[in-house]
Homo-oligomer: A and B are copies of this chain.
Amino acid sequence: MTLTGNLLIGRQSIRGTNGSLHGIDAATGATLEPAFGGATPAQLDQACALAWQAFDTYREISPERRADFLEAIAANILALGDALVDRCVAESGLPRGRIEGERGRTVGQLRLFAGMLRQGDFLELRVDPAQPERQPLPRPDLRLRHIPLGPVAVFGASNFPLAFSVAGGDTASALAAGCPVVVKAHSAHPGTSELVGRAVQQAVAELDLPEGTFSLLFDAGREVGQSLVADPRIRAVGFTGSRAGGTALMAIAAARPAPIPVFAEMSSINPVLLFPNALANRAEAIGAAFAGSLTLGAGQFCTNPGLVLAVESEGLERFLEAAASSLARIGAQSMLTPGILHAYCGGVDALAQHPQVRTVARGQAGNTLQGQAALFSTSAEAFLADAALRHEVFGAASLVVRCRDVAQMRQVTEALEGQLTAALHLDAADHDAARTLLPSLERLAGRILVNGFGTGVEVGHAMVHGGPWPSTSDGRTTSVGSLAIARFVRPVSYQDLPDDLLPAALRAESALRHTWRVDGKASR
């Protein structure tokens, strides 16, 4: 499949004429062909108009057909074969195995939502039957379903060019909810974006869906993304990226005549808490595993362990030695873009030069496109005194905070901003100490995990990939797992509607097919 560099607007492939951008080979810095044309305001308008036109039709196609659509997207992505993997490896600098795994995850997400649609209870149907004899007033018949919000703007993320991009979790959950999607491709992987975009576009055609169900726009700057969020036909935004980027989109969304929700997943340093007995018993194993998690994908994970809290102890010293010796054996890796590498180096330099911070270890040095892992340590007092030490350094850098005791670990925890994850390493003898920290951690993070690292994000029904500000813009949501669909729907109540005017799922005939909550009690 030859790349065109074109925008995908509805069923068309159109040359964008508002500047252009190229993919870059992350490992060599070489420019990759072709040039991708940025969308003009008129082209953006066309994509939004088509999405709006598609909305009422697309949202009412049967859940089964929507499931077929998601599965067709998955099949079309797999059918791209090596062409997709090769381009994605080149644009991201990520290892081939990682990209193949991420492709599997992307396809798995689409299939997870397809399964939910087939299961049919994601609409959360509720019925409060009429009570015509009730005194002093009869009770009306009330039926409730959730309907989609409208067209959704999705911003591809740099660090997961498949799973958080054109057909990633935001797109999959929005399409599953019944929302048309307009994607603003991330400039770091335009070729990957076009290939996946064409897989989606092809699925729209195969299922004979309204053409505005999906469009893909490129942007040589920031205009297209900003205009997309401001467009009155866009009704929600999915974004994964920097805190500055997410905050800027939130401001645009809030300033609209009719504000819309922005679901932005932004900034997290993902504290790892090492408890005394676990350290005493297996500091070396934890240190080695930590180094592996820290450097996975050059540390470019939202859930990368950027902060370690531990009580000063002989075990902590052994942990640091083990982590340092592991890091020394791990090669430097290409980072996603020169800009990300530049920001990473700036963050590492600031830590290295901080008077209260000690450099514990560095990974192997690499070429000018590669990030060198870094491990630092500081005292709890210094950490609490300087908010700059609590900022995310996106990449394979982490800061160990030496605490006097578990109470001080808790004090440090309370000083943190919201996080995606908090990981505890503990043995049975640590449970009592850990229990005193759990209330803080629940208030702090969307996911709490024991004896592991947050870098593996399971796609399932009980996953939360979200958390309090600033890890996300709305801690009541997740961008991974089946609950992600809840971001894109709203409840509508139907009172005393004649059966033939009710939506199909709420008609009497559907009572046998769907799980309803009748007077608040689940029943089938």
Q: Which residues of A contact B (CB under 8 A)?
A: 56, 60, 115-116, 119, 121, 126-128, 137, 139-140, 142-144, 147, 149-150, 250, 254, 258-259, 261, 417-418, 428, 431, 434-435, 438-439, 442-443, 445-452, 456, 458, 460-464, 466, 468-470, 473-478, 482-483, 489-498, 500-501, 515, 517, 519-522
Q: Is the CB of A476 within 8 A of B254?
A: no
Given contacts A449-B494, A482-B520, 15 further A-B contacts (CB under 8 A): A139-B460, A140-B456, A142-B463, A143-B462, A258-B469, A259-B473, A428-B498, A431-B500, A445-B492, A446-B493, A449-B497, A450-B496, A450-B497, A461-B520, A476-B491
Interface-central residue, A126, A254, A466, A520, by most chain B CB under 10 Å: A520
Question: Do A461 and B522 form a contact, CB below 8 Å, given A150-B443, A489-B476, A494-B448?
Answer: no
Copies in the complex: 2
Question: Do A520 and B447 form a contact, CB below 8 Å, given A438-B501, A476-B261?
Answer: no
Q: Is the CB of A119 within 8 A of B496?
A: no
Chain B residues near A482: list those with CB within 8 A.
520
Interface-central residue, A126, A143, A473, A477, by most chain B CB under 10 Å: A126
Chain B residues near A261: list those with CB within 8 A.
474, 476
Q: Which of B142, B463, B490 interacts with A460 by CB under 8 Å?
A: B142
In the complex, what residue of chain B is closest to A443 when comparing beta carbons?
B150
Please, how many angstroms separate the alpha-carbon atoms of A6 and B439 in the complex? 34
Q: Is the CB of B476 within 8 A of A139?
A: no
Q: Is the CB of A128 within 8 A of B258?
A: no
Q: Is the CB of A140 within 8 A of B491?
A: no
Minimal beta-carbon separation of A284 from chain B (angstroms): 21
Q: Is the CB of B121 within 8 A of A522?
A: yes
Chain B residues near A460: list those with CB within 8 A.
128, 139, 142, 519-520
